[in-house]
Amino acid sequence: MTADAQRTYSAHVERATGETKIDLTLHLHGTGRVSLAFPVPFLRHMLHLFAAHGSFDLDITADGDVDVDDHHLVEDIGLCLGRAIAIALGDKRGIRRYGERHTPMDETLARAVIDLSGRPAFVLQASFSDTRIGTFPTELVAEFFKSVANEGRMALHLAVLYGENNHHMVEALFKAFGAALREAVTLTGGGVNSTKGVLE
Ligand SMILES: [Mn+2]
């Protein structure tokens, strides 16, 4: 079904600052094909899962001051991904708008609930027992998703309901986020799913 024949549900975002340089292409109604080239292996693993569980095509070529810390690059990739989601959706005509998913990963259960409302909000309920997963700072999980929610102009509510292994917890969050976003961007036909008539 095509809600808007003119819309490709794709976006290309380029962003360069003194800290990072990012080139990102997203297709929301894709097949889960990824090409990820940037020097944060754990985030590559997570975004591969996000794309696979959302059936998004995602190409990212990026670099940054990871000799300082992964912080800037992770935050800015989140920012570009959020921006790409917003651009790809345009006026959001004909999409479901809401999406939610529980995702288990072995002993862990995570939940993602999304409203593509146009109003940024972000809540993460999770307590990680380690400050790092491999070399990846665990605190950057929240920074990444906060950037996505802000630039994607969505309400994003994430929770790890329970779990033991930190890698499993983060993995379950990224899978749940991908699946919930896929539901939210599903084409339903018709107009904008709001009694106000606009989502911005
Ligand atoms: Mn894994």
Convert the pLDDT of each residue in 56-77 to its tens digit: 999 999 999 999 899 999 999 9
Residue 147 has pLDDT above 50, yes or no: yes
Centroid of ligand 1 to alpha carbon of 67 (angstroms): 24
Structure tokens that stand for 61 in this block? 């070529």
Q: What residues have CB less than 8 Å from 37, skipping those under 6 apart? A: 60, 61, 62
Q: What pLDDT band is residue 6 in, cutting at 50, 70 and 90? A: low
Convert the pLDDT of each residue in 8-42 to its tens digit: 899 999 999 999 999 999 999 999 999 999 999 99
Q: What pLDDT band is residue 2 in, cutting at 50, 70 and 90? A: very low
Centroid of ligand 1 to alpha carbon of 167 (angstroms): 6
Residue 192 has pLDDT above 70, yes or no: yes
Location of structure tokens 């499993």: 168
98-102: Cβ within 8 A, 24+ apart: 98/183, 98/184, 98/193, 99/179, 99/180, 99/181, 99/182, 99/183, 99/184, 99/185, 99/186, 100/180, 100/183, 101/176, 101/179, 101/180, 101/183, 102/161, 102/176
**Structural domain spans, the chain:** 10-184
36 DSSP 8-state letter: E
- Average of pLDDT values for 127-131? 96
**Percent of the chain at pLDDT above 70?**
97
Mean residue pLDDT across the chain: 94
The residues placing their C-beta within 5 Å of ligand 1, an ion, are 171
CATH fold of 10-184 reads Ribosomal Protein S5; domain 2 (3.30.230)
Centroid of ligand 1 to alpha carbon of 110 (angstroms): 14
Centroid of ligand 1 to alpha carbon of 16 (angstroms): 30
- Average of pLDDT values for 169-174? 98
Residue 174 has pLDDT above 80, yes or no: yes
CB 74 within 8 A of CB 144: yes
Q: What pLDDT band is residue 146 in, cutting at 50, 70 and 90? A: very high
Q: What pLDDT band is residue 53 in, cutting at 50, 70 and 90? A: very high
- Average of pLDDT values for 75-103? 96
Convert the pLDDT of each residue in 16-25 to its tens digit: 999 999 999 9
What pTM was computed for the model? 0.95
CA distances (Å), 137 to each of 65, 111, 128, 133, 196, in order?
15, 21, 11, 6, 41
pLDDT at 3 (0 to 100): 46
Centroid of ligand 1 to alpha carbon of 183 (angstroms): 23
Distance from C-alpha of 104 to C-alpha of 39, rounded to nearest angstrom: 28
Centroid of ligand 1 to alpha carbon of 146 (angstroms): 22
